[in-house]
Chains A and B, each alone.
Chain A
Amino acid sequence: DSGVTQTPKHLITATGQRVTLRCSPRSGDLSVYWYQQSLDQGLQFLIQYYNGEERAKGNILERFSAQQFPDLHSELNLSSLELGDSALYFCASSVGSDSYEQYFGPGTRLTVT
């Protein structure tokens, strides 16, 4: 158990809908990262927050947005969902803002039908 929690574990929704994924980092970690992993693919970095501020942006679509709250938990919002958005979404956390050692949550499996 990495100490990072993600909810929900599974999510099934229809095209065009909007969903929110939630992540709580390990105690003491200030950075939260979001990744997307499609079936049998590598990890695509989406976005990073550090202590409430956006730190870095990767290949995140404009339909996606995220934020980190004062208690350091983070939410990833996915809107106007398409079939291609079906994937595993991982949240990871680390102590610092540029850490090579990240702790991953169990992931949220999103299925868009």
Chain B
Amino acid sequence: AQKVTQAQTEISVVEKEDVTLDCVYETRDTTYYLFWYKQPPSGELVFLIRRNSFDEQNEISGRYSWNFQKSTSSFNFTITASQVVDSAVYFCALSSDHSSASKIIFGSGTRLSIRP
């Protein structure tokens, strides 16, 4: 069975602190994709990153960085020098390349609050 676990339900930090959002996944597929999406108060999910299972290189985009480790089935997301605009719910998601789109699994989300 496929599963995505975001154990941190809510995180609150003061602006400029670094924060890491954890994501642990389970799948028996050898080819799969991992995603992070951000959901601001307006409601729409905003794509942040996609990673395929064969690319374990870490990625950095501005203040955002992602650490993908197949050995621990984790795909963690770090925000450096957090800002108030980073406040949102963040979802980690997993999909396989099989035909069934019902295999797109979202984690339960982590609500991140950045205090001024």
Tell me if chain B binds chain A.
no
A-binding residues in B (CB < 8 A): none
Q: Which residues of A contact B (CB under 8 A)?
A: none
